[in-house]
Amino acid sequence: MKGIILEARNVSFRYPRGMEAIRDISFHIRKQEKIALVGANGAGKSTLLSMFNGMIRPDSGTLLVDNEPVRYDAASLRKIRKNVGFVLQNPDRQLIAPTVYQDVAFGPVNLGYSEEQVKESVALALHRVGLEGFGRRPIHHLSGGEKKRAAIAGVLAMDPDVLVLDEPTTGLDPAGSEDLMELLDELNHDGKTIVISTHDVELAYPWAHRAILLHKGKILAEDVPEVAFGNPDNIRTARLSVPILLDLHEELRKRGLKVPEGKPRTVLDMMGCIDSLLDKPCCHPSPGKIFVCNVDSDASSSLAGWVAGHPAIAIGAMGTRAKQRAEQEKYTLAFTYGVIDKCILRALLGHDTLILTTGTMVDHIFRRIGAYRDESGIPVDPVPVPEPAAQTGTQAGVHP
Amino acid sequence: MFEEILEDTAQTNGLREVNTYVKLMTGLGGIILCLLSASYVGPLVIALIFTVSLLVLAKIDPWVYFELFLAPFWFAVFSVAVIVLISGGAHVLWEWHITSWFTLSVTEESINQGFYLFCRVIGGMSSLFFIALTTPMTDLFSVMKRCRVPDIVIDLAMIIYRTIFILASQIVQVYRAQVMRLGYSGWRESIHSFATLAGSAFIASWNSGEDLIRAMDARCYAGKFAMLGELRPVECLPLAASIAFLAFSALVIALTGTYTLIQVVP
């Protein structure tokens, strides 16, 4: 288990002339976790988040960043704000400079980087969020999703260990929200700890490693999402709603059906539950293959030829660079979010799929599909393409 | 909104990638030549060249350009009309004695004077539009920095520039909400609604000021603002075209000397 990076010990806070926003809260967040802080409007989510980078000082209690108590002198605050990047709910409030480049460079310049370092960190940050070539654009020419990405890039340019996002998907269309959550996953794979606040239960449920339910400044539940969202009393008190998959699972169980104890996180899990009810896997006799292409590798240059050889294949992209590559090659993407699950679902129907992905995600995809194969016993196999060496592995991997 | 049309055009026009100094030199040169010209011909030639280059080279939508020109055009027409009426001259064409000490008159000299002024306004405006429509504000900030304008002025200008668009969109929202609820249906309502609009604009700007400080603090503000990297290189063709234009205009001004619209017989 990784070390603790953020911790709150008996933290309380009251707004001047207002009610208590945070009441004696204690919890911790480990490195590289994905945490969703869930609660209704006014539950204290934003207040709690603003404490992590010293924007709000608690009346009592201690906050620890990297196991060191937060101190509120200028130098310590600078250090904390560099390590804990905060993305505000409204990107218009976060973006302060006239152009994208200037805004992303704001943090690095104020941290005293040299001109070369500033350019480098801005280029890297824009690359990570997929806004290359946007540097000279003025902020008000960006769409809502682009503004959000620019705001995230501005924080990433300071290379923080923790990213704190307040209601990251507010104002984004569903596809934009999915893209953003994908981006957060990608950053998490690159080693960032991610904390988001949201009241979108369906969004937080499959995404988070752990969920913290807040109600009137107190923690109602703090656990893996299946448990945190699984208690109807807590959900009612917190003015939230039960995720639809959990609800469905519970209804099936109430009818005396023997569904597995493990609660479904995704549609794929739910299909597994239904399969076990039917007592036979309802998948195709010969499941399809999942081809995985690393767009960062040199071998991916022959991708176009490979795709041309598989005209009807459904393509999914994971990661910003993979999506850009798909755009360059003018592929129609069938999946952009929850790609691995959707590809497994396709494979169960006997169709082949191709996942375009970036270097850091390849291992994750193989692990995830491997775990599914081991758990379900259904021989779904990832196949790296277009490397010719993998061809022999393909034949060996697929059983009738 | 008007300011967005200007900015959009400046960001996307055909001369966007030309070096900012060259564009500024051309535009400012045009204004100075208009001021130096002693006859109406020079400013008219300058206005014509700028208009053609804006429409053809910068590919500005003619309708946008026309609408932009309307405001200064009418302003010039009315100002010139007053000047024509009150400045006197020897060759009177028409006059009206209102009282013993106040006479409105149109003379050959006043028409010449008025037309000359009118052309200078048009020439100057087209030069200014040339800068405004081809050079985005963001490029001007870089130029200001290089011209050693104090940092605090540039930082303020950049923050104001960024805030204008946020504030403008908020004002539009409030205005629409008022119109939808018949806030401008009568004279009294209009005054009342306008007052509330002004009030909410003030509160909105106050709030966004506080947000700004918070956002800057959250990102380790230490008194520095990044500048937009490098300017575009100076290319030969635009530079040559600019010099040729300035030289040609100067020549026209020198040759036309003191041409007037009406030849006044001494």
User: How crowded is residue A3: how many other Cβ atoms within 10 Å of its Cβ?
Assistant: 10
- A161-178, pLDDT tens digit by residue? 999 999 998 888 888 888
Whether B229 sits inside 8 A of A98 (CB atoms) is no
The answer on B129 and B13 residing in a single domain is yes
- Residue B137's pLDDT band, with cuts at 50, 70 and 90, is confident
Separation of alpha carbons B233 and A362, rounded Å: 42
Percentage, residues of chain A above pLDDT 70? 96
**What digits encode the pLDDT tens for the residues A342-364?**
898 888 888 889 999 888 788 88
Residues near A66 by beta carbon (within 8 Å), at least 6 away in sequence: A5, A83, A161
Cα end-to-end span (Å), chain A: 39
Ranges of beta strands (E only) in A217-317 are 218-223, 290-294, 314-317
* Residue A246 contacts residue A323 (beta carbons within 8 Å): no
Quote the pTM value.
Answer: 0.81
In this structure, what token pair is assigned to residue A334? 């069938």
CA distance B220 to chain A (A): 6
* Nearest-CA distance B23 → chain A (Å): 18
How distant is the alpha carbon of residue B206 from its chain centre? 28
Q: Give A240→chain B minimum CA distance, Å.
A: 29
A171 touches chain B (CB under 8 A): no
Does the beta-carbon distance from B219 to A107 stay under 8 Å?
A: yes
Best residue of B8, B155, B162 to probe chain A, by most A CBs closer than 10 Å: B162
Instruction: Answer yes or no: is pLDDT of A397 > 60.
Output: no
Range from A77-91, B15-29, B78-92 carrying the lowest mean pLDDT: B78-92
Instruction: Decide if A88 and B7 are in contact by the 8 Å CB cutoff.
Output: no
Question: What is the rounded average pLDDT of the residues B113-119?
Answer: 91
CA separation, residue B140 to residues A98, B42, B135 (Å):
12, 28, 7
pLDDT band for position B248 (cuts 50, 70, 90): very high
Strands of chain A, DSSP E: 4-14, 20-30, 34-39, 60-65, 68-69, 84-87, 162-166, 193-198, 210-215, 218-223, 290-294, 314-317, 333-335, 353-357, 382-385
Shortest Cα distance, chain B CAs vs residue A200, angstroms: 25
Q: What's the mean pLDDT in B209-237? A: 82
Q: Does the beta-carbon distance from B220 to A86 stay under 8 Å?
A: no
Q: Quick one: pLDDT at residue B230?
A: 66
Burial class (CB in 10 A: 0-12, 13-18, 19+), B27: buried
Closest-CA residue of A relative to B231 is A136
CB proximity A309 to B under 8 Å: no
User: Quick check: A107 contacting B, CB < 8 Å?
Assistant: yes
> Cα distance from B243 to chain A (closest Cα, Å)?
28
Q: Hey, is the C-beta of A117 within 8 angstroms of any chain B C-beta? A: no
Q: Which of B161, B162, B215 sits opposite A88 (nearest CB)?
A: B215
Same domain, B142 and B102: no
CB contact under 8 A, A94 and B215: yes
Rounded to an integer, the average pLDDT of B189-209 is 91
Contact of B107 with B91, CB cutoff 8 Å: yes
Judgement on whether residues B118 and B207 belong to the same structural domain of the protein: no
**Residue with the larger pLDDT of the pair A166 and A136:** A166
| Rounded CA separation A279/A381 (Å) | 23
Q: How far apart are CA A249 and CA A326, in angstroms?
A: 36
Indicate if the pLDDT at residue A298 is higher than 90.
no
Region of residue B85 (phi > 0: left; psi between -120 and 50: alpha; otherwise: beta): alpha
The confidence score (pLDDT) of residue B212 equals 85
**Cβ-based contacts of B225 with chain A (< 8 Å):** 97, 102, 106, 109
Query: Looking at chain B, which residue has its C-alpha nearest residue A98?
Result: B162
Strands (E), chain B: 92-99, 102-107
User: How far apart, in whole angstroms, are the C-alpha atoms of residue A73 and residue A77?
Assistant: 6
Nearest CB partner across the interface for B226, out of A53, A78, A118: A118
**pLDDT digit string (tens) for A152-162?**
999 999 999 99
B232: amino acid identity, one letter? R
**Count of alpha carbons within 13 angstroms of residue A7, beta-carbon side:** 11
Average pLDDT of the segment spanning B118-143: 90
Residues of B in contact with A106 (CB under 8 A): 216, 219, 221, 225-226
The pLDDT of B221-237, averaged and rounded, is: 78
The CA distance from B233 to B10, in Å, is: 18
Please report residues of A whose CB lies closer than 8 A to that of B137: 98, 138
A275-289, A316-330, B43-57, B209-223: range with lowest mean pLDDT: A275-289
Tokens representing residue A310 in the block:
């598989």
Task: Judge if B212 and B224 occupy the same domain.
Answer: yes
At residue A230, the pLDDT reads: 86
Average pLDDT estimate for A247-254: 89
Contact B219 A155 (CB under 8 A): yes
Report pLDDT digits (tens) over B13-58.
888 888 889 999 999 999 999 999 988 999 999 999 999 999 999 8
| Maximum Cα–Cα distance across chain A | 71
pLDDT at position A395 over 70: no
Q: How many CA atoms lie within 13 A of A72 on its CB side?
A: 10
Please report, rounded to a whole number, the percentage of residues in chain B having pLDDT higher than 70. 97
**pLDDT value of residue A392:** 41
- ipTM comes to 0.73
| Residue A266 confidence (pLDDT) | 87
Instruction: Compute the distance between CA of residue B22 and CA of residue B26 in angstroms, rounded to an integer.
Output: 6
**Mean pLDDT across the stretch A25-32?**
93
Specify the DSSP element, H or E, that contains A53.
none
In whole angstroms, what is the distance from residue A11 CA to residue B133 CA?
Answer: 54
- Per-residue pLDDT tens digits for A175-207: 888 888 988 988 998 899 999 999 888 888 999
Mean pLDDT throughout A139-149? 89
Sequence-distant (≥ 6) Cβ neighbours of residue A198 within 8 angstroms:
A36, A37, A38, A45, A167, A168, A169, A204
- Asked if the C-beta of A228 comes within 8 angstroms of chain B's C-beta atoms, the answer is no
- In angstroms, the Cα distances linking B243 to B15, B29, B53 are 16, 10, 14
Chain A residue nearest residue B137, CA to CA: A98
User: B-chain residues within 8 Å CB-CB of A155?
Assistant: 219
Two tokens, residue B11: 């960001």
Contact A101 B229 (CB under 8 A): yes
Residues of chain B positioned with their CB less than 8 A from the CB of A95: 162
In this structure, are B150 and B241 located in the same domain?
no
Q: Which helix (H) or strand (E) holds B249?
A: helix B236-256
Regarding whether B253 and B123 lie in a shared domain, the answer is yes
Question: Could you tell me which of A43, A157, A34 has the C-alpha nearest to residue A100?
Answer: A157
How many CA atoms lie within 13 Å of B243's alpha carbon, on the beta-carbon side?
Answer: 6
CB contact under 8 A, A96 and B162: yes
Closest-CA distance of chain A to residue B13, Å: 13
CB contact under 8 A, B162 and A95: yes
Q: How far is B179 from chain A (nearest CA, A)?
A: 25
In a shared domain, residues B77 and B91: yes
* B52: Cα separation from own chain's centroid: 17
Query: B19 and B125: one domain?
Result: yes
Domain identity same for B6 and B92:
yes
> Would an 8 Å CB–CB cutoff place A141 in contact with chain B?
yes
Please give the tally of structural domains in chain B: 2
Nearest partner of B220 among A77, A387, A96, A51, judged by Cα: A77
Question: B18 and B124 share a domain?
Answer: yes
- Full domain range(s) for residue B6: 1-135+231-266
Give pLDDT, residue A393: 41
CA Rg value for chain A: 23
On the question of pLDDT at A326 being above 90, the answer is: no
Q: How far apart are CA B216 and CA B149, in angstroms?
A: 22
Instruction: At B28, give phi and psi (nearest 5°).
Output: -65, -40
Tokens of A54: 């010293």
Q: State pLDDT tens for residues A376-392.
A: 778 888 888 876 544 44
Contact A78 B141 (CB under 8 A): no
d(CA A248, CA A270): 9
Which pLDDT does position B10 carry in this prediction? Answer: 84
- In percent, how much of chain B has pLDDT > 90? 35
Instruction: Give the C-alpha separation, A77 to A399, whole Å.
Output: 58
pLDDT, mean over chain A: 86
Residues B78 and B203 in one domain: no
Report the gap between the CA of A20 and the closest CA in chain B (Å). 22
Are B21 and B142 in a shared domain?
no
Smallest Cβ–Cβ distance between A139 and the set B162, B219, B223 belongs to B162
